[in-house]
Structure 1
Amino acid sequence: MLELGFEWRPEEGRTVLAHRRHEGPLRVQKALYPEGPALCQVLVLHPPAGIAGGDALTLQVALASGSQALVTTPGAGKWYRSKGPQATQVLDFRVGDGAVLEWLPQETILYDQLNGHTETRVQLGADALYVGLDLLCLGRTASGETLRQGRLGMVARIAQQGRLLWSEQGAIEGGSRLLQSPAGLRGMPVSGTLLVAGRAISNEVLDACRAVVPAVGEGAVTRLPNLLIARYLGPAAEPGRAWFVDLWARLRPALTGREAQVPRIWHT
């Protein structure tokens, strides 16, 4: 388990990583400020590099009112094959009034024969903003691996001041009809979701996002009250990530007044 707590200190004009506690392999190296003192950026490290059968990982992130944080990862996440035991991951995010949390991990690779379950819980205060990215790669396609067996269960829930904004649950099962179905993943090995929750999306911003077309693959954008959902489906992670970054570049200035700046670690 890794617990992170961020605070806004107006006398210093900065967001600080005020609380950090861990049990197990998850770590964070240090607080970084590549975009200035108002926004704190941290890299969540998982030295084993992947989640194996029987692992139970929990990441808890709490932002006090007015604070801003961007949390990312130094490389692709992995769900390894399992001979039986289920692995679990829980993301528990609490974003205070007026605070901004951007959860922008790099892509996640699902190994053949995995057995996993992941749950994301987000609680937002008044005028809080959450941006969450989830990009899944089914198998190690560069090595010719596909997801023939295994299962990943997924649950996501976002609420603001006690009102439910988003609830979704599903599963990806190796070898299932969903992977090839025209109503499912259509044989594509990469799918992704970008969720932007907590603040209203204007018609102008929505139109700007819908005008962005992935260079490869397909994308779609939907708006609900205080929520924007973008979905990607394609043959590789790189064009999917590039499309999500293009959307972020249009959403971030409108919602936070800050230009989009890709984390440096993504280029290493």
Structure 2
Amino acid sequence: MDTTEHGEISTQRVAGAARLSCALGDGRTRLRRLYQDGAAKIRMPTVSADPLEAVLINTAGGMTGGDRLGWQVDAGAGASASITTQACEKIYRAASNRAEVRVNLSVGENGRIAWLPQETIVFDRAAFARTLDVELAAGAEALVLEATVFGRLAMGERAARGHFHDHWRVRQDRKLIHAEDFRIGPDIAATLGRPASAGGAIAMATLLLVSPRAEALLDTVLEIVGDQGSASAWSVKKSGKLLARLYAGDGYQLRQRLVPLIELLNGRAGLPKLWSL
């Protein structure tokens, strides 16, 4: 807490930004630049082969109204990077304003990125906005996941009210190939309870694969997703796009299907180690 010149108490806000760039060198992906500021930290586990792995950490342990985090990852031509988080990001009740996360990913020609953060947990009366911008060069591939859980039923917690906004833009060779704009609130529980929305499910995920392999994987993806979600695939110029949406009664049930999906779609890189702990 800080005290203003008038003797009033103002709450400190979380602020952080981190940037990582990597490039192909001597036959494997290597770190080129790393910048960290405030609560945003990046750690690099030791790996013996591609992809380069990075773990994002919010040292504040969660976010609330007014907090800001920014993540930027640049993978050069032919480079491969896998990004995850140390833990689930928690979005707590906001007294005013909203918490914001901005993510910018760029991949050079024939490069690959896997953006695989662990789930975002939204608490009652939270206010949160997330922006995800992905720029892919020709021939680049991407696997992008965002999973959200509205409350923690095992702890007796439910996100009844609040505001949540997810905004995605994915471009390849400067052309828009995918857009998401999901909003829910202020009555989150009532909206999720409607049969036409989530039928009472509180956990959901969107997983996007941009790759020439996309259409060939659709049948297996549909088997994993089952009747609590859907998946589709399309041709996108010289590449392909697969989009899967899942929902579940809680975060544990959601993860039971997300794990095999990630293992399938992430190729030889498989599941990030932190997901299996």
TM-score, normalisation: structure 2: 0.87
SS at match of 1:75: coil
SS at match of 1:51: coil
Which residue of structure 2 aligns with residue 105 of structure 1?
A: 117
Verify the 8 A CA contact 1:63 1:101 in the aligned structure 2. yes
- Deviation at 1:148? 1.6
Which residue of structure 2 aligns with residue 147 of structure 1?
A: 159
Verify the 8 A CA contact 2:36 2:42 in the aligned structure 1. no
Q: Distance in 1 between matches of 2:61 and 2:245?
A: 26
1:213-232 equivalence runs, <5 A = 213-214=225-226, 218-225=228-235, 226-232=240-246
Q: Please give the per-residue CA displacement for 1:137-160, whole angstroms capped at 9, x wherever unaligned.
A: 101222222112210111011010
Verify the 8 A CA contact 1:77 1:107 in the aligned structure 2. yes
| 2:104 matches 1:96 | no
SS at match of 1:38: coil
- Deviation at 1:106? 0.9
Which residue of structure 2 aligns with residue 132 of structure 1?
A: 144
SS at match of 1:165: strand
Question: Aligned AA for 1:23?
Answer: D
Q: Distance in 2 between matches of 1:262 and 1:63?
A: 19
Q: Give the stretch that moved more between structures: 64-73 or 141-150.
A: 141-150
| 2:208 matches 1:195 | yes
TM-aligned CA distance change 1:231 to 1:224, over 3 Å: same
Which residue of structure 2 aligns with residue 236 of structure 1?
A: 250
Verify the 8 A CA contact 2:163 2:185 in the aligned structure 1. yes
> What is the total number of aligned residue pairs between the two structures?
256
Q: Please give the per-residue CA displacement for 1:89-139, whole angstroms capped at 9, x wherever unaligned.
A: 101101111111111111110011111111000000111111111111101
Question: Aligned AA for 1:84?
Answer: S
| 2:37 matches 1:23 | yes
Which residue of structure 2 aligns with residue 246 of structure 1?
A: 260
SS at match of 2:256: helix
SS at match of 1:221: strand
Q: Distance in 1 between matches of 2:257 and 2:157?
A: 25
Q: Matched residues, percent identical?
A: 27
SS at match of 2:275: helix
Give the alignment's Cα RMSD to 1 decimal. 1.7
Verify the 8 A CA contact 2:214 2:233 in the aligned structure 1. no
Q: Distance in 1 between matches of 2:143 and 2:32?
A: 21
| 2:271 matches 1:267 | no
Which residue of structure 2 aligns with residue 61 of structure 1?
A: 73
Q: Give the stretch that moved more between structures: 54-63 or 176-185.
A: 176-185
Larger radius of gyration: 2
Q: Distance in 1 between matches of 2:181 and 2:222?
A: 25
SS at match of 1:23: strand
Verify the 8 A CA contact 1:147 1:175 in the aligned structure 2. no
Question: Aligned AA for 2:272?
Answer: P
Question: Aligned AA for 2:250?
Answer: A
Q: Distance in 2 between matches of 1:133 and 1:224?
A: 18
- Deviation at 1:43? 0.8
Specify every segment of 5 or more residues in structure 2 that has no aligned partner in the other structure, as ranges: 1-16
Which residue of structure 2 aligns with residue 175 of structure 1?
A: 187
| 2:13 matches 1:4 | no
SS at match of 2:134: strand
TM-aligned CA distance change 1:185 to 1:205, over 3 Å: same
TM-aligned CA distance change 1:86 to 1:262, over 3 Å: same
Q: Distance in 2 between matches of 1:5 and 1:73?
A: 17
Verify the 8 A CA contact 2:225 2:246 in the aligned structure 1. no
Q: Pick one of 176, 180, 184 that aligns with 1:164.
A: 176
Q: Please give the per-residue CA displacement for 1:200-223, whole angstroms capped at 9, x wherever unaligned.
A: 345542222222245xx7132111
| 2:129 matches 1:117 | yes
Verify the 8 A CA contact 1:135 1:237 in the aligned structure 2. no
SS at match of 2:65: coil
Verify the 8 A CA contact 2:100 2:128 in the aligned structure 1. yes
TM-score, normalisation: structure 1: 0.89
Question: Aligned AA for 1:98?
Answer: N
